[in-house]
């Protein structure tokens, strides 16, 4: 064999080596992204399993047209008040429309710890038939009034 055959074999070997290196890097990065997404999904599932909320009391004051909803965090997960939604008869109520709210009697916190009660007061024209509270993880509690 001449030099041309050995030289071309060396070039092909180097090209194959570089190609495998590039393919390995791309495949590993894709696999790593899938693993990260799977880990995040597992964390969300665990958070959802550890989240339990109970609507403990719903009171409608006919004189002032105010509805007070008390919800207890009965799970093991700390929740965010800013990411907890209130629905009255299926209609979303924005936090800016709340008359008042508190967590365990405090209005200066947005963290809702296990065992604490979140209380919301809103003005509504009539007493709703159903009140629903939804957390950031999608766990909900519904009370038929």
| pTM for this prediction | 0.77
Out of 10-19, 91-100, 115-124, 125-134, least confident range? 10-19
Is pLDDT at 6 greater than 90 in this prediction?
Answer: no
Q: Domain extents for the chain?
A: 1-49, 53-144
Which strands make up the sheet holding 85-88, listed edge to edge? 91-93, 85-88, 130-134, 140-144
Beta strands in 1-145 (DSSP E): 53-61, 66-73, 79-80, 85-88, 91-93, 98-103, 111-112, 117-123, 130-134, 140-144
Its CATH architecture, for the domain 53-144, is Sandwich (2.60)
What does the pLDDT average to over 56-71? Answer: 95
Q: Tell me what percent of the residues of the chain surpass a pLDDT of 90.
A: 75
pLDDT level of residue 131 (50, 70, 90 thresholds): very high
pLDDT digits (tens, 9 = 90+) for 134-144: 999 999 999 99
pLDDT digits (tens, 9 = 90+) for 76-85: 999 999 999 9
For residue 24, the model assigns a pLDDT of 86
Q: How far apart are the first and last CA of the chain?
A: 93
Is pLDDT at 119 greater than 80 in this prediction?
Answer: yes
Q: Dihedral sign for Cα 48, 37, 39, 114, please.
A: negative
pLDDT digits (tens, 9 = 90+) for 7-57: 888 888 898 888 888 888 888 888 999 999 999 999 999 999 999 999 999
């Amino acid at each position: 064999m001449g030099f041309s055959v050995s030289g071309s074999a060396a070039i092909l070997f180097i090209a194959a080596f570089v190609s495998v290196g590039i393919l390995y890097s791309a495949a590993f990065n894709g696999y790593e992204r899938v693993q990260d997404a799977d880990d995040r999904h597992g964390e969300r599932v665990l958070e959802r399993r550890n989240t339990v909320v109970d609507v403990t009391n719903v009171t409608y004051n006919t004189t002032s047209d105010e509805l007070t909803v008390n919800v207890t965090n009965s799970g093991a997960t700390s929740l965010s008040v800013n990411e907890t939604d209130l629905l009255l008869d299926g209609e979303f109520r924005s936090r800016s429309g709340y008359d008042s709210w508190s967590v365990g009697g405090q209005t200066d916190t947005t963290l809702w710890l296990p065992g604490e009660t979140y209380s919301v007061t809103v003005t509504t024209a009539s007493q709703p038939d159903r009140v629903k509270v939804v957390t950031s993880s999608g766990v909900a509690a519904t009370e038929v009034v």
